Amino acid sequence: MSTAASQRTWAGPSAVERLSILRETKVIAMVGASDKPSRASYFVATYLLSSTKYRVYFVNPVVKTILGQPVYPSLADLPETPDLVEVFRRHDDLPGVLEEAKSVGAKTIWLQLGSWHEGVAADAEAAGINVVMDRCVKIEHARFHGGLHLAGFNTGVISSRRQVLA
């Protein structure tokens, strides 16, 4: 076990709890979304727009459009309150993103794969905000809705029956 992994003390929501978060979510704000196709956020954005019913907003102060959608400079500038704030930002930026999420009334802060911040998790939970860290919304959604095969993952299941995404 690596040193970083051994220092992790926060225990995140179970699979059932993550599914519940995704089912209750209607609006997702992607903070740190990129217009570069090589970036993870672009791939996630493509999936969310094409394979889910979520209303998806992009937040990045230096980008104007992503996938034909407008990009907003901050969470406060969004036309509606996001249920879930998905974060694609550097570790040191996470406390500031949490403060923005709290100020707009978000219900969940979701830190992308590889992103872990125990202080942010503690502060968010103290404010009544759900926290998911080191997980991908796209992968989790696809996993729960039978769509991993659509996202480029070999599920090991061979079937001619098409799955219906919720």
pLDDT tens sequence across 62-113: 999 999 999 999 999 999 999 999 999 999 999 999 999 999 999 999 999 9
Answer positive or negative: Cα dihedral of 32, 33, 39, 43.
positive
Q: Is residue 56 part of a domain?
A: yes
Partners of 87 in the β-ladder: 31, 111
Asked if residue 27 belongs to a domain, the reply is: yes
In a domain, 26, yes or no: yes
> How many structural domains does the chain have?
1
Q: Note whether residue 122 is domain-resident.
A: yes
Rounded distance, CA 140 to CA 135, Å?
Answer: 7
Kindly report the CATH number assigned to the domain that includes residue 118: 3.40.50.720
Asked if the structure places residue 47 within a domain, the reply is: yes
Task: Find where tokens 């001619």 sit.
Answer: 160
Find the angle CA(88)-CA(90)-CA(94) to the nearest 5 degrees.
80
C-alpha closest to that of 72 among 30, 117, 42: 30
Give the DSSP H/E element, type plus range, for residue 113: none
Cα separation, 147 vs 144, in Å, equals 8
Question: Binning pLDDT at 50, 70 and 90, where does residue 9 land?
Answer: confident
Q: What is the per-residue pLDDT across 32-58, written as a single tens digit (0 to 9) for each?
A: 999 999 999 999 999 999 999 999 999
Structural domain includes residue 155: no
99: domain range?
Answer: 13-144
